[in-house]
Structures are given as structure tokens and as C-alpha cells.
Amino acid sequence: MTVINKNLAVLKNFINGEWVDAISSETLDVPNPATGEILVKVPISSKKDVDLAVHAAHEAFQTWKNTPVPKRARILYKYHYLLTENHEELARLVVEENGKAYKEAYGEVQRGIECVEFAAGAPTLMMGETLSNIAEDIDSEMFRYPLGVVGGITPFNFPMMVPTWMFPLAIACGNTFVLKPSERTPILANKLVELFAEAGAPKGVLNIVHGAHDVVNGLLDHEDVKAISFVGSQPVAKYVYERAAAQGKRVQALSGAKNHHIVMPDADMNKAVANVISSAYGSAGQRCMACSAVVIVGDGDEFVTALKQKADDLIIGNGIDDEVLLTPVIRDSHRMKVLDYIKKGLEEGASLIRDGRKEMDEMQDGTFFGATIFDYVTPEMTIAKEEIFAPVLSLLRAKDLDDGLEFIRKSRFGNGATIYTKDAKAVRQFREEADAGMLGINVGVPATMAFFPFSGWKDSFYGDLHVNGKDGVNFFTRKKMITSRFDY
Ligand code: NAD
């Protein structure tokens, strides 16, 4: 049951170093998905709020771009220290607003801290390149410069990791930033900004405008916003990419997923089952790298029996309790979409061998959905093609590895894929032929860390340069070439 506290605070925006009320008075409740308790209200800001933030960021850019790179990096070092000091509190905030298990939230905060570690290397990362004597008496030099104001738009499922994919590196490279966090998980974002200011970031360098599509459109259309970094669902990613790119902005838009795990007959079945369970049901399946389809090669009886048993044994509940693995989905409206997918799966002939609607009915307080497994799913079925983003797993049967790889090729998404095997030949074939950007070899969640690009393919990504790693540095900088002749 939802507990409504009429005196709840409305989150503030952070513009030009000040916490300010949004101009618009529209708000949305932010409940704890495990309890229904309303934690806070988030303002649904308007384009006018965006204009104020972009103006502040644009002004700050004039000084920040000329601040020596090591001086910028020192703020990141201090920030790293503050995030580490606050690691547990940040993880608790993630659990409260997103619902995921504390251990996962703690890990997410760690991933975010690593992004700051990477960004603190800006003096090295921003180095250019030179070549003397590229022609007779002629030298070539390349320098890197920031772009200006960057807009960041983030999803609900990683309130810490995804914003830290963006603003630490963008700012270390000399840009200024306007962040629009998910309106469903906006609380941690304010803590991130508060600590960044405490680390010594000058006013206007990092701003937050809370809200929904008006804020997004305000950023996409503003002429002083030079680049957009987006992470979210596929239709919105495509929309953001097209609208921003049409206005000449640099865009990276990370999108939805359908990640296949191939279980070969020689795999260690216990380990494969444990990996699939944690990948498919951790964070209630709400990870862009979650396993949502298992391709079983050969006779899968042993695997399916063990998988179902483990799914039956999963402890479901509030993520703040240590033993819980299966936590709630983000909202009831999301559960309604999941129910439609269950109906569709049944209508299209898949075999429902574990039905999570049971736990949904039993657990009234939060937005829980039990572990669900469909067997004998084919690539043509809706549940195999679309991202469900919930604890719903599809099992597909393949006669051999070629067949399994074909299923991956047929998917419109290409974020991640995994193989479970001890066979080196199968590993190599999988590495060469799997049509996805992030592969796991006996790894359940092959998400890359801050030092490498997060590298989705096909409809899982729109743009060219991915987030993180050297791609991230290239995305947040533009290059200037100098050609010099010295024979005068
Ligand atoms: P979402 O697309 O609903 O929202 C993402 C952001 O876009 C939010 O800030 C939201 O306010 C904004 N938005 C939503 N609808 C909009 C519209 N019509 N116009 C303009 N802006 C709009 O995504 P979500 O549900 O918050 O996040 C889950 C999705 O994100 C999943 O599809 C998941 O796969 C994806 N995701 C992808 C990655 C990746 O690396 N590829 C990482 C995390 C999440």
C-alpha cells in the first residue's frame, strides 16, 4: 500500500552552483519500489529551467575550458575521495530509489567511482599527437579541445553508474555539463552533484535539471548544447539521436538490449546455471546487460531442471535485506507491460515453466514480479524479439553452435552475448561470429569497466563513439591540427 506524506520535499535543481526550485510547479512522486513509501517529489521542469542551466554552463565554460588540465583533474581526485567516503550511503540511496539489492548497489557505486578514476587521468588522456618532418621541413601537431556545454540524459536502472559514465570525463576534458537524471530515480543525482561541488567544482560546471521529455527536448534543441550523451530505451534513444544529430550535435545514444547466453553441452552446468540466474534475475532483470534469452545447445534437460529449481529457491524481497536476490521492478505500470508479454508468450505458443505472476499476487506492498521462465521460445516470438526488462527469461533450443549464433544474428539488438563452454574452438567461433559488442566467455554480465568502451552494436547503440575509455575522450573533445613549415 502506498504511504503518502503530504509534507514531502520537492527535489531542487542545481543551477550555477545554487539549489533552486524549478519554475514549473508540476511534480511526480518517487516511491521506494520495495515498500511503496513515497520518498520525495521530483519537479517536472520546463524548457525555461533548461535555458537557465545551459546559460550557466555556457558562462562557466569560458573559464573552465582554460583551466589547466591537471587542475581540473585534481577536482576529480578529491571527488574520488568523497565518493569513496560516502560509498555506503550512496549504495543505500540506490537501493531506496531503484529497489535493487544492496550488494548490487554497492557494486554499482564502485563502477561509478572507477569512472572518476579514469577521468582523473585527463592530463594523459587529453594529450595530442605530433610528427616532425611529415614532409620536408613540415611538422604536424594535433591538440584536443573541449566542445562546450554537454547534455546528459540518464535511465532509472543505474542512477550512479550511468551519470558517472558521462559528467566526470566530459568535465575533466574541459566541457561543462547539464544532467537530466531519470525522473524515476532522481535522488542520488543530487548527492552526486553536492559532492562534486564539495570537491571544488566551480559554479556552473555541473548543473542538474530534473524532469521528463520537456527537459530532454530543451537540451536537444538548445543551440549552446554541443553534444548529447543519452542512455535509455530503444525508441527514445533513436528519437534523441535523430533529433539532436539533425541539429548538428554530436550524439551517443545507448539503447535497449536482448542478451543471449549460449549454453554448450560441455559447459559446467552448475556454474552456467548460477551465472544465468544472477544475470537474469539480479536487479529484477532491469540491466541492459541482463541475460534475457538462453540458447541451449543439445539436450538441455539437466540445465533446465537445475535452472527452474534455483529460480524456485530465489529469495524475493526488499533489496536492503542481505539474503534477497530478486527485488521489485521499478513501477506498477512496468508490471502491467510485463503481464502483456506473458500473455503474448502464451498466445504465441511458448511453454511457461515458471510463472512469476504468483509472487506478484502474493506480495502486495512493493512492485514485485516473480522469476519467470518460458521454454521452447523461437526467435520469431515477440518475447524473443523485444526487450521485456524484467525477471522474465526465454529458453531457446538450438541444434548446434551455428544455429545459436544465428539466433543472435537475427536479433535487432547487439549489446551483449555470453557462451558457457570449455571448448576453445567454440570460444573462438563465438568471439569471431557473435553479432554483439560485448561478449562474455563463461561470464554472466560481461559489462565493460570505465577504461574500455561500453560497446553495444545494432539497435543497442546509435552514434559512433561509445561511452568510456578512449572513445569517451574522443567523444568529449575535438581535435585541431597544426601544420607548420620552418623554412622561412
Ligand atoms: P527511458 O527511455 O524510459 O528513459 C531514459 C531517459 O529518457 C529518462 O531520463 C527519461 O526521462 C527520458 N525519456 C523517456 N521518454 C522520453 C520521451 N518520450 N522523450 C524524451 N525523453 C524521454 O529508459 P528507462 O526505462 O529509464 O531505462 C531502461 C532502458 O535503458 C532499457 O531499455 C535499458 O536497456 C536501457 N539501458 C541501456 C544501457 C546501455 O548501456 N545500452 C544502459 C542502461 C539502460
Report whether 387 belongs to an annotated binding site: yes
- Distance (Å) from CA 394 to ligand 1 centroid: 23
From start to end of 117-224, where are the E strands?
129-135, 138-146, 149-153, 176-180, 206-208
Q: Is 184 annotated as a binding residue?
A: yes
* Closest ligand 1 atom number to CA of residue 330: 25
Beta strands across the sheet bearing 416-420: 351-354, 372-377, 392-398, 291-297, 259-263, 416-420, 438-441
pLDDT in tens, 309-346: 999 999 999 999 999 999 999 999 999 999 999 999 99
Does the pLDDT at position 2 exceed 50? no
Beta bridge partners of 483: 140
Closest atom of ligand 1 to CA, residue 211: 11
Count Cβ atoms within 10 A of the Cβ of residue 399 and give its class: 0-12 exposed, 13-18 middle, 19 or more buried: exposed
Amino acid sitting at position 81: Y
Protein residue with its CA nearest to atom 7 in ligand 1: 232
| 156 marked ligand binding residue | yes
The tens digit of pLDDT for each residue in 421-435 reads: 999 999 999 999 999
288 catalytically annotated: yes
pLDDT of 219 > 90? The answer is yes
Contacts for 121-124 with beta carbons within 8 Å, 24 or more apart? Answer: 121/73, 122/69, 122/72, 122/73, 122/76, 122/169, 122/172, 122/173, 123/69, 123/70, 123/73
Helix (H, G, I), strand (E, B) or coil at 259: strand
Report the separation in Å between the CA atom of 5 and the middle of ligand 1, taken as the mean of its atom positions: 28
Residue 180 marked in a binding site: yes
Average pLDDT score over residue span 198-219 = 98
Ligand 1 contacts CB of residue 157 (under 6 A): yes
- Which of 97, 231, 411 is the best mutation target for the ligand 1 pocket, counting ligand atoms within 8 Å of the beta carbon and taking the most? 231
Q: Which of 160, 182, 220, 461 to mutate to test the pocket of ligand 1 (most atoms within 8 A of CB)?
A: 182
pLDDT score at 4: 39
Task: Tell me how many degrees the CA angle 183-111-113 measures, rounded to the nearest 5.
Answer: 90
Ligand 1 contacts CB of residue 177 (under 6 A): no
Nine cell digits for residue 221:
534543441
Phi, psi angle pair for 292, to nearest 5°: -120, -10
Q: CB of 216 closer than 6 A to ligand 1?
A: yes
Residues 6+ apart with CB under 8 A from 258: 292, 293, 384, 385, 386, 387, 411, 412, 413, 415
Q: Which residues contact 242 (CB under 8 A, 6 or more apart)?
A: none
Ligand 1: which residue has its CA nearest to atom 35? 232
pLDDT tens for each residue of 120-170 = 999 999 999 999 999 999 999 999 999 999 999 999 999 999 999 999 999
Closest C-alpha among 319, 262, 263 to residue 99:
319
Per-residue model confidence as pLDDT tens digits over 448-459: 999 999 999 999
Residue 292 beta carbon below 6 angstroms from any ligand 1 atom: no
**pLDDT score recorded for residue 95:** 98
Judged on CB neighbours under 10 Å (0-12, 13-18, 19+), 416 is buried
pLDDT of residue 185 exceeding 60: yes
Query: What single-letter amino acid sits at 253?
Result: A
- Rounded distance from Cα 456 to ligand 1 centre (Å): 15
Q: How far is the CA of 213 from the centre of ligand 1 (A)?
A: 11
What value does the mean pLDDT take over residues 52-57?
98
Question: Please, which residues bridge with residue 145 across strands?
Answer: 478
What are the tens digits of pLDDT across the range 77-127?
Answer: 999 999 999 999 999 999 999 999 999 999 999 999 999 999 999 999 999
Report whether 375 contacts 304 (CB < 8 A): yes
Predicted confidence at residue 7, as pLDDT, reads 60
The Cα 488–Cα 484 span in angstroms is 11
Span from the CA of 256 to the centroid of ligand 1 (angstroms): 8
Above 50 in pLDDT, residue 413?
Answer: yes
Provide ipTM, 2 decimals: 0.99
Ligand 1, atom 42: closest residue by C-alpha: 288
- What percentage of the chain exceeds 70 in pLDDT? 99
239 contacts: CB under 8 Å, gap ≥ 6 = none
Residue 206: strand pairing partners? 177
